[in-house]
Amino acid sequence: MVAEVKAGKGRKSGSGGATGGADFDFEQGRARVFVGDCRAALKRVPEVQAGTVDLVFADPPFNWNRAYDRWNSTAEKQHDAAVVKKAAKNYDTWDDGLPREDYLDFTYAWLKACADGLRPGGQFWVNIPDDTAAEIVVYCKNELKLPMLNWCVWHYRFGQNRTGGFINSKVHALRFVKPGGQITWNARPILEPSDRATTYFDPRTMSKRDGMPAGFRVPMDVWYGPYFGRVQGNNKERRPGHDNQLPEAYLERVILSCSNEGDVVLDPFVGSGTTGTVALQYKRRFVGCEYSLANARSAWERMTNLGMVSPGKALGQSSAIAKARSASEKAKKRTRVNKPTDDAIA
């Protein structure tokens, strides 16, 4: 259950409006969640004001007309109905069907607020679908002057079916950095066996000198696999009422590689709390903002009481698509190992 619910600074509990209201904040140990529109709530985060945030991960509303706090009904059954009712009044579901111009203004505003809060060398990840990826890349590079370190793609199966065009099966995971400081990069915890080791039995992978253990590599920039599917149906990670939950494995990869223990991880769109749950599991400090109090309560329960479902399970897994070669193919392969086409194998 929620460990502590306190009134926002300078406000009486329950008195805020839908935009930037500060009715309830959650705080315990290494975790804090500020409830309200992140454009206003971020101003109440001391580390944002000081520019000392180490890592931002943002998974904003996509403007796809989704209801973001359907958790309300479940919450009413499980928690204090009076509090949730008051919250529903004060924090209407975020309008996920804004006119395009308004959505872009909103997007640029939270991007800037987050970038301002980063320390030099701090990293900024944004999870965004095709619709707005280009605008975000251009804005971050040209206006915010954030160099881009990686353009990753999260590939999932079971996208929305369609027949008039290709079925969408990806979201962009954009990685930027604020210039001027030490960039955290921990490859070791996120390594995976290389295809050369698991599938092609290429001896070169056992004697390579890139500083990584024999047979292992840094994952490629397209992310997929058993633990990277969309969190749907009877998935063990699934939180009731949250349709937009990211898999733990995705955040595990980001947080382990791009932050250290004790670092401040910020998520301006907490949702079901995946970022905070993973950050706390790995001994980071977590600060989040969430518009819906019902979502914030659900996320808080997950972060501080339930924790990760499968910590570490996705780590070290091969993402090879092809099956391992048979012994006879393996023998043939050894004789062909230096042919140029072989270099195409990652």
Ligand X SMILES: C[S@@+](CC[C@H](N)C(=O)[O-])C[C@H]1O[C@@H](n2cnc3c(N)ncnc32)[C@H](O)[C@@H]1O
274 belongs to the binding site for ligand X (CB under 6 A): yes
**Sole binder of ligand X in the list 38, 111, 264, 279 (CB under 6 A):** 38
94 belongs to the binding site for ligand X (CB under 6 A): yes
272 belongs to the binding site for ligand X (CB under 6 A): yes
Show contacts of 223-227: CB within 8 Å, 24+ apart: 223/152, 223/153, 223/154, 223/155, 223/173, 223/250, 223/253, 224/154, 224/155, 224/156, 224/319, 225/249, 225/314, 225/317, 225/319, 226/314, 226/317, 227/310, 227/313, 227/314, 227/317
282 belongs to the binding site for ligand X (CB under 6 A): no
The minimum distance between CB 317 and ligand X, in angstroms, equals 21
The minimum distance between CB 159 and ligand X, in angstroms, equals 16
246 belongs to the binding site for ligand X (CB under 6 A): yes
Cβ-based nearer residue to ligand X, 249 or 320: 249
252 belongs to the binding site for ligand X (CB under 6 A): no
d(CA 28, CA 116): 25
244 belongs to the binding site for ligand X (CB under 6 A): yes
271 belongs to the binding site for ligand X (CB under 6 A): yes
269 belongs to the binding site for ligand X (CB under 6 A): yes
d(CA 8, CA 43): 12
**Residue range at the interface with ligand X (CB under 6 A); choices 79-87, 137-145, 288-296, 327-335:** 288-296
Q: Which residue has the tokens 């975790």?
A: 31
d(CA 174, CA 133): 8
Neighbours of 130 (CB within 10 A): 10
* Residue 303, both tokens: 């972060």
Q: Is 6 left (phi over 0), alpha (psi -120 to 50) or beta?
A: beta
59 belongs to the binding site for ligand X (CB under 6 A): yes
125 belongs to the binding site for ligand X (CB under 6 A): no
23 belongs to the binding site for ligand X (CB under 6 A): no
26 belongs to the binding site for ligand X (CB under 6 A): no
Using Cβ positions, the residue closest to ligand X within the complex turns out to be 271
DSSP states of 291-312: S-HHHHHHHHHIIIII--SSTT
The minimum distance between CB 321 and ligand X, in angstroms, equals 26
**Sole binder of ligand X in the list 72, 198, 259, 292 (CB under 6 A):** 292
**Sole binder of ligand X in the list 192, 195, 202, 290 (CB under 6 A):** 290
Neighbours of 288 (CB within 10 A): 29
Residue 126 · residue 112 · CB < 8 Å = no
**Sole binder of ligand X in the list 69, 192, 195, 263 (CB under 6 A):** 69
Nearest to 244 by CA among 231, 225, 226: 231
The minimum distance between CB 22 and ligand X, in angstroms, equals 13
Task: Return residues touching ligand X (CB under 6 A).
Answer: 37-38, 59, 61, 68-69, 94, 242, 244-246, 269, 271-272, 274, 289-292, 295
